[in-house]
Amino acid sequence: MMKKKFWRINDKSTPSNLILVMCFLSFGSYFCYDNPAALQDTMIKALDISESTFMGFYSWYSWPNVILCFFGGFLIDRVFGVRMGAIIFSLFVTAGQVLFAAGALVNHVWLMNVGRFVFGIGGESLCVAQNTYAVKWFQGKELNMVFGLQLSFSRVGSTVNMNIMQPIYQLISGMGFKHEYTSLGVVLMIGAIMCIFSLICALVLSFFDKRADRILKRANVTSDEAIRITDVKYFPLTFWLLCIICVGYYVAVFPFIGLGLVFFEMKWGFDPSLANNVNSLVYIISAVASPVFGFLIDRTGKNIFWVILGTVCTIGCHALLAFTFLNPYVAMSCMGLAYSILASALWPITAQIVKSTQLGTAYGIMQAIQNLGLAVIAIVAGAIVDSKGYLILEVFFLACLCVALIAAVLLYLVDASKGGKLNLSAKERRKLAALNSEQGEEKKLLD
């Protein structure tokens, strides 16, 4: 009976729909991240900026985060804890979006860049906080599904943004503001409301997390156990292999989608709206499939096999796109499914490699390396396409995926040689966790 109480966090002490609150934590951030894309032509006209200044709104978000989300993760582990961390970074997100909107209101692009920078510091570290929360609450239970749901919500946030920002702008500009940029500023402020909503979610989670800590009598982290920045050196090989898989896979999906529109127009002769449809298939399918696959992976366990499956599947999709004229709907749909599988299966593995006191830092590192990879490869991919064409670009992406595949296979082998902890089936994992918690109980009784 007592064992059961330790297991179930979502009992009378906390409502189970807290999963939703957790997913909405970064909804505001994902919604506002793609505001520039949704309002691209409007921004370029209203602010009278060039295409490269416009792209700067994205650069100011991503380049600082190559390093900063590592520190964000470390701060979550060492200084703030996940509760304060989530609240602080939500504040950054909100403040950043407000600055961004204010910059548009007064037509100062430098202020908008500052806003995006602040927004970025908050946004990426908020993801790290969200991942840490998820592991803290759902490890050993529905962790894969929760990660899948988080992915789903991020896509939904992005899609909602793409679909409603333009109509809102039309509405606001019809109100007769003197300058176009004033209307733009007002619309962006509306985006800030989404961020405030996410801030409220952070506060709600903080309340319930503190309460659960109190009820379940979770021990405070002592200073010996707290992470030091030098501890990063001692992260196991399996963690770094996981990072390689993360980078190798993501750089073959997102930069590809960034360049996909013209590829579909030129190779298959699609018109722009059809090409757009095919291109966004990955996002649409992953929004629906991630939680489903997450649930499935929770049932079966064996995460590393799923990671390998997702990678091999994506290799197949890129091969189809590169070497055949088969309708890209097939390849992109499969890619959406494969991406859902990988995203749901990959991130929870970190929780089994790294101690819970180092989890924020670990996720911070993974995210930082991922951001660096995406930023660099986006530029490289553009250069490859301009000089050598799409076939060579696809071959390049295949090579990246092969690197991820090699890392995944090595991960399995390294892990298998150490007893195969990471690739347990769900049943084996539950047995192991029960064993651990029993030993933990005994230890407490003996002390």
Partner 1 sequence: MLFKSFIAIFCFSFVHSDGPVRSMTTFFNPGCESQKCEECSPGLAYIVSKGDNDILHYIISAIGGPPSALVIKTNKPKGKFQLQIDCKKIASKNETERREAIIKPDGVKELYSFGVVFTRLFQYNDTADKADINYYNINSTAWRVYDFDKFEWQDLTMWSSNDFIVMKVKTSGEVMERAFYNESLLLQFHLFDHSDRSTELPHLQYDAESTQIDFTLQDIDTGNSSSARWGLEAVLIGQDSTDKPMSIVTKKSVDDEYTPGVFQVSNWLTRPGNEDNGGYLQWKPVCYLKSARARSVATKVDTTGLVYTEYVDDFLNNSILYSYFSDIQMVSRYATNFTFGLEKDGGFTKTNYTSWTAQLGYGAPPMDKVSSLVVGVISAGLGIPVIIIMFGGLFVVIKKKTARGEYADLDKDQSTIQ
DSSP string across 68-86:
HHHHHHHHIIIIIHHHHHH
- From 55-63, 123-131, 163-171, 381-389, span contacting partner 1 (CB under 8 A): 381-389
Determine which residue in the list 31, 169, 256, 390 makes contact with partner 1, applying CB under 8 A: 390
Cβ-based neighbours of 150, under 8 Å, separated by 6 or more:
22, 23, 26, 130, 131, 134
Site membership for partner 1, residue 391 (CB under 8 A): yes
Determine which residue in the list 16, 170, 300, 324 makes contact with partner 1, applying CB under 8 A: 324
Site membership for partner 1, residue 55 (CB under 8 A): no
Site membership for partner 1, residue 275 (CB under 8 A): no
190-225 burial: b if 16+ Cβ within 10 Å, else e: bbbebbebbbebbeebbebbeebeeeeeeeeeeeee
Residue 161: in which H helix or E strand, if any? helix 143-173
Closer CB to partner 1, 262 or 330, in the complex: 262
Q: How far is it, in rounded angstroms, from Cα 135 to Cα 215?
A: 18
Closer CB to partner 1, 371 or 423, in the complex: 423
Minimal distance in Å, beta carbon 416 to partner 1? Answer: 5
Determine which residue in the list 288, 309, 406, 432 makes contact with partner 1, applying CB under 8 A: 406
Q: How far is it, in rounded angstroms, from Cα 310 to Cα 407?
A: 13
- From 1-9, 64-72, 185-193, 413-421, span contacting partner 1 (CB under 8 A): 413-421
Site string for partner 1, 284-323 (x = CB under 8 A): -------------------------------x------xx
Determine which residue in the list 41, 224, 386, 447 makes contact with partner 1, applying CB under 8 A: 386
- 3-state SS, 254-310, equals HHHHHHHHHHHHHHHCCCHHHHHHHHCHHHHHHHHHHHHHHHHHHHHECHHHHHHHH
Determine which residue in the list 95, 232, 410, 434 makes contact with partner 1, applying CB under 8 A: 410
Cβ-based neighbours of 141, under 8 Å, separated by 6 or more:
7, 298
Token look-up 């991630």 returns: 290
Site string for partner 1, 148-187 (x = CB under 8 A): ----------------------------------------
Site membership for partner 1, residue 5 (CB under 8 A): no
137 near 81, Cβ under 8 Å? no
Q: How far is it, in rounded angstroms, from Cα 245 to Cα 350?
A: 12
Minimal distance in Å, beta carbon 60 to partner 1? Answer: 24
Determine which residue in the list 87, 274, 292, 395 makes contact with partner 1, applying CB under 8 A: 395
Q: Is the dihedral of CA 232, 93, 65, 385 positive or negative?
A: positive
Site membership for partner 1, residue 247 (CB under 8 A): no
- Residues touching partner 1, count (CB under 8 A): 30
How does DSSP classify residue 178?
A: S
Contact positions vs partner 1 (CB under 8 A)? 262, 266-267, 272, 315, 322-325, 385-392, 395-396, 398-399, 402, 405-406, 409-410, 412-413, 416-417
